[in-house]
A and B are shown apart, each in its own frame.
Chain A
Amino acid sequence: MNNDSQRFNLKALFKVNIIFFFIIAFIGLLLVRLFYVQVIKYSFYHQSALNNQLEQSKIPATRGLIEAHEAGQLIPIVLNQQFFTIYADPTLIKNIDKTSSDLSGVLNMPKSTLKSLLETHNTRYVVVAKKVSQDQANKILGFRYPGLGSLGQDYRVYPQGDLASQLLGFVDNSGHGNYGIEQVLNNQLSGKTGYLKAITDVNGVPLAASKNNIDIPPQNGKNVVLTLDLAMQKQLQDILANAAKSEKSPLISAVIMDSNTGAIKAMANYPSYNPAHYNQVKDPNLFNNATVANPIEPGSTMKVFTAAAALNHGNVNQNTTYNDPSQWIIDGFKITNIEEDGGAGKKSIEDILNLSLNTGATWLLMQMGGGKVDLKARQVWNDYMTNHFRFGKATDIEQGYESGGIVPNPDIANQSDDQQNLAYANTSFGQGVTVTPLQMASALSSVINGGTRYEPYLVDGFADSQGNVNYNKPKVIASNVVSSNTSNSMISLLETVVKKHEEAGFKYLAFPSGYNIGGKTGTAQVPKPDGGYYDNKFNGTYLGFVGGNKPQYSVAIFVTTPTVPGYAGSYGAQPIFGNIAHMLINQSYVTPIGQ
């Protein structure tokens, strides 16, 4: 080596030192920057990462099914079907033209519509189509186009159409039950929504084994078993539909109850609707289950309870007779009889029910007091109406929007005794008091089953996921509604009423031997909205039972303003009862005498 190259070496090495200095300086700069990004700005980037990576979602629980009895089996009448919402993230879609043309083939939507949806700017979520079938959703996801996704949602389906629709209610788009069973049992049916909080990959798939993940699985809703007998329900709906047609009634409601348990076997209103298309219903009144939600003045069917109260109170018995004046003057108002009463004279309890004597019902009320309509009579009758027969109170059946009706207070301050006596005299024959068909049927059951009040119920039990049903037991609310003597007397009185009506020409009330059928008609004046009553509008009601050795089914029927050639009770409601009673007997729902 000569000196020249040595000099070069030294110079070169000095230059290498300069380069190396820059390298080390740059590494220092990177370390400073890393410290800033990773330590000082950590929380900012940590939050950005979570915004990016953390998926929090609710996992919907499957809504419980609703089942009912048919021929010894449980048949689901409300089911779920999963449909899908197809959504898109327009920022991720690569080939809008091809994506939209393939989508349009599957969804039967015009390509131009889809194209404009996928071209939406400034959003990462566009709903492409709703209520898409599983097949269609699978096809769409099968394309594996970026930016498309599907979201499953359960919808209620009703294989039996409008069967028991008002009783069932419907489920709205947000998954909430409205009206009927769906509303009252919403919590049990809907179950518990699951919750997922997870760090996910870019496609939203949770990454395994992240310590912050939360995964609470959903608890599916319980399956509900109803007390309804589906065949009976169908036939009841047919009977009501035919009657509504022939009698031109805007609303008919009826309930068939097991007299000895309180279980509802059939419950229907006409008209009804299909809950699958609840959003096409124009009149929201159609959603109401009128059998529990529409209390009206029942008219003479109330005399069943006036008689039962008087018999049970003890001052009269089944064979008591009295002199009927054919009219009473109370508070200056005349109480007369609507139907032919045969004039003043000696009348029996049976006559009161058979001829439907308002004066007779008023006389019965008088027997509960001091021989006239007075405070005591009002108090006793009120006690029977509200505490024994439980009018004016909701029955607590599993239905949304149940109404308890109105029973007037027996002793209103600032109101003269006379006025209250008149009001109470009216209640003895079913005016000035409102009840629902369900209340009527429930009260009748307690009068004819020996005096036991059962809580009426629609929910027979809840089924677990294996299909085992945990059945509810009938719930006894009171066991001394009336004495068994009173009960027996009422049974025979009501049976006589039906026999006498048959003899009087209502031939459809002829039943095969081996069955006992009892009942009472009611024709009620319809109150005007601004007070007073219409002269020409009447509601027909019927309260009856069907049985063998003992009453088995209690039936209440309310017919709103039928157009019939006679009293609304006898010509509107009574034929419906006849059809129901025949149906129950013919279809072997009733156990005949001796079996």
Chain B
Amino acid sequence: MRPRNTQIRQNDSSNHVQGMPRRHKPDYILLIIALILISFGLVLIYSIGPGLVIGTNLSQNYYINRQMISVALGACAFMATAFLPFKFWIKSEKFLISIAIISALLVRVFGQRVNGAYRWIQVGGFSFQSSELLKFTLLIWLAGFLSLRVKDGTIKDFKKTLLPVGIVLIALLLVVAGVQSDLGSTTVMIFMIVAMVFVAGLPMKKIVLIGLVVAFLVFIAIITSSYRQQRVATFLHPSSNCQTTGYQTCQAMIAVGSGGMIGLGLGQSVQAYGYLPEAANDSIFAIFAEKFGFIGCSIFLLLFAALFTRLKHIIDRCPNNFTRLIVVGILAWLSVQTFINVGAMVGILPLKGITLPFISYGGSSMIFVMAAIGLVFYISRYTLHTVPTKEVGRNDYDNSRNGGRIRRTRYSSLGGR
């Protein structure tokens, strides 16, 4: 009667994915919010095209054309994660980890040094940011690892849980912060790990311990790189270094502040004309703020809030620990990355050089962010109808795989399509 559901059940042999309820309509609201944000990015990049190509021989449409390609690739990534069965990702976990590690190390060998950091692998006319792949891989591996530990009941075991996580964490710090000098991505990954282990149930004490180790390592990272010292010094005294190290921060603040209440208007950004470095990229929020002002920024941040709320909505209804941890990781990823980016533009966080999800120019970020959204989209097909409460019996009843037969849910009419 419901062949697809049956099939899923039969094939759900993996440990992680046990207990998936029947499939229903996915969360289109999530997708719509993501599409609105992507459109914002496209409009922004299109409108500042002439400013971006100043001093080059590139056409005014160079950036928007390439961003369209990125969006197309992002759409492919989204399709892959949203429609390939989950076990595909679980099965290719080892492959993903190998690729991620190799690419992370290749960055140092073939990589291009941009703003003091090695983040990009240059292949022909395209470049690839390995840390985006690392985030995605970390997400899948850690969710699987932690959900197994929860199932085993060894989540609080030092040897079985904390030690491996700690090793992975230190390895990431060494590779991304140490080898690639990419503190922004490192921060995002740390927050992903912390959020996931926190939700998975690692004791607070141990998390604090991890936190102390991380703080120590970050401190080491800062004092060993003059580039990072500069950034911290700039953050502490932005206006005193406006002509030198604080230039980007000052120009970003000028862009944000000169937007005022209602902004200069879509075509009126001046800071994009060569004043603000990385205008299409790390600094794109400042350009948005200049064009649309406080009102525009509020709407913009509320859209992100809506996205995060939607993710939270799905987390609350995830059918199992594995999927829940995946979405928690994605929530941490997207929110922390957004905050680090926007926080730097408004001068409350130091510049880290990471992209604004969905908005910034760049293919790697777009592909993996859309892949992540695809995962959530996939998971949203299997969410429970209600949030679990203490009323155990009712929830068991509602969310049983056969619930539809007994009681029509609002999804059931679509179930037989």
Which of A10, A26, A49 contacts B390, CB < 8 Å? A10
Let me know if A12 and B274 touch, CB within 8 A: no
Measured between beta carbons, the chain B residues less than 8 angstroms from A6 are 388, 392, 395
Main secondary structure of the interface of B (DSSP, over half): helix
Cα distance, A6 to B391, chains bound together (Å): 10
User: CB of B93 within 8 A of chain A?
Assistant: no
Measured between beta carbons, the chain B residues less than 8 angstroms from A91 are 243
User: CB of A30 within 8 A of chain B?
Assistant: yes
Cα distance, A11 to B200, chains bound together (Å): 9
Measured between beta carbons, the chain B residues less than 8 angstroms from A12 are 199-201, 321, 324
User: CB of A471 within 8 A of chain B?
Assistant: no
Instruction: Name the residue of chain B whose CB is nearest to the CB of A208.
Output: B50
Let me know if B347 and A37 touch, CB within 8 A: yes
Which of A19, A199, A201 contacts B198, CB < 8 Å? A19
State the Cβ distance, A590 to closest chain B Cβ, in Å: 67
Which of A30, A38, A53 has the most B CB atoms < 10 Å from its CB? A38
Instruction: List CB contacts (< 8 Å) of A34-65 with chain B.
Output: 34-35, 37-39, 41-42, 44-46, 48-49, 52-53
Let me know if A202 and B274 touch, CB within 8 A: yes
Let me know if A38 and B273 touch, CB within 8 A: no
Let me know if B308 and A23 touch, CB within 8 A: yes
Let me know if A44 and B257 touch, CB within 8 A: yes
Which of B195, B254, B339, B395 contacts A48, CB < 8 Å? B254
Given contacts A38-B259, A39-B261, contact A31 B298 (CB under 8 A): yes
Which of A8, A9, A33 contacts B348, CB < 8 Å? A33
Cα distance, A34 to B342, chains bound together (Å): 10
User: CB of A319 within 8 A of chain B?
Assistant: no
Measured between beta carbons, the chain A residues less than 8 angstroms from B200 are 12
Instruction: Name the residue of chain B whose CB is nearest to the CB of A42.
Output: B260
Main secondary structure of the interface of A (DSSP, over half): helix
User: For the side of the interface on A, what is the size category?
Assistant: 35 or more
State the Cβ distance, A39 to closest chain B Cβ, in Å: 5
State the Cβ distance, B105 to closest chain A Cβ, in Å: 31
Let me know if B316 and A8 touch, CB within 8 A: no
State the Cβ distance, A139 to closest chain B Cβ, in Å: 19
Question: Number of B interface residues, CB 8 Å?
Answer: 63
Let me know if B289 and A38 touch, CB within 8 A: yes
> Of B61-69, B123-131, B159-167, B328-336, which stretch is located at the interface?
B328-336
Measured between beta carbons, the chain B residues less than 8 angstroms from A15 are 198-199
Cα distance, A45 to B270, chains bound together (Å): 13
Residue-wise interface mask of B (267-293) relative to A, using a CB-CB cutoff of 8 A (1 in contact, 0 not): 110110111000000000000010001
Instruction: Name the residue of chain B whose CB is nearest to the CB of A13.
Output: B316
Which of A8, A38, A45, A199 contacts B201, CB < 8 Å? A8
Let me know if B308 and A20 touch, CB within 8 A: yes
Let me know if B258 and A45 touch, CB within 8 A: yes
Given contacts A11-B201, A202-B275, A203-B54, contact A16 B315 (CB under 8 A): yes
Let me know if A30 and B260 touch, CB within 8 A: no
Cα distance, A49 to B253, chains bound together (Å): 10
User: CB of B106 within 8 A of chain A?
Assistant: no
Cα distance, A13 to B328, chains bound together (Å): 10
Which of A29, A37, A200, A203 has the most B CB atoms < 10 Å from its CB? A37
Measured between beta carbons, the chain B residues less than 8 angstroms from A1 are 19, 395-396, 399
Let me know if B257 and A52 touch, CB within 8 A: no
User: CB of B301 within 8 A of chain A?
Assistant: yes
Cα distance, A48 to B276, chains bound together (Å): 13
User: CB of B312 within 8 A of chain A?
Assistant: yes
Let me know if B347 and A207 touch, CB within 8 A: no
User: CB of B304 within 8 A of chain A?
Assistant: yes
Let me know if A20 and B54 touch, CB within 8 A: no
Measured between beta carbons, the chain A residues less than 8 angstroms from B346 are 30, 33-34, 37
Cα distance, A254 to B221, chains bound together (Å): 88
State the Cβ distance, A240 to closest chain B Cβ, in Å: 59
User: CB of A27 within 8 A of chain B?
Assistant: yes
Measured between beta carbons, the chain A residues less than 8 angstroms from B399 are 1
User: CB of B227 within 8 A of chain A?
Assistant: no
Residue-wise interface mask of A (394-417) relative to B, using a CB-CB cutoff of 8 A (1 in contact, 0 not): 000000000000000000000000
Instruction: Name the residue of chain B whose CB is nearest to the CB of A44.
Output: B257
Which of B51, B243, B254, B298 contacts A34, CB < 8 Å? B298
State the Cβ distance, A22 to closest chain B Cβ, in Å: 9
Measured between beta carbons, the chain A residues less than 8 angstroms from B396 are 1
Measured between beta carbons, the chain B residues less than 8 angstroms from A200 are 273
User: CB of B297 within 8 A of chain A?
Assistant: yes
User: CB of A588 within 8 A of chain B?
Assistant: no
Measured between beta carbons, the chain A residues less than 8 angstroms from B324 are 12
With A6-B388, A34-B301 known, 8 other A-B pairs at CB within 8 A are: A27-B304, A30-B343, A37-B257, A44-B257, A45-B253, A199-B270, A201-B51, A209-B267
Interface residues of A (CB under 8 A from B): 1, 3, 5-6, 8-13, 15-16, 19-20, 23-24, 26-27, 29-31, 33-35, 37-39, 41-42, 44-46, 48-49, 52-53, 91, 199-203, 205, 207, 209-210
The 10 closest A-B pairs by CB, nearest first: A45-B257, A202-B274, A201-B273, A49-B258, A38-B294, A42-B260, A33-B346, A20-B312, A9-B388, A53-B270
CB<8 Å pairs between A and B, sample of 9: A8-B150, A13-B315, A23-B305, A34-B297, A35-B294, A39-B261, A46-B260, A49-B271, A205-B54
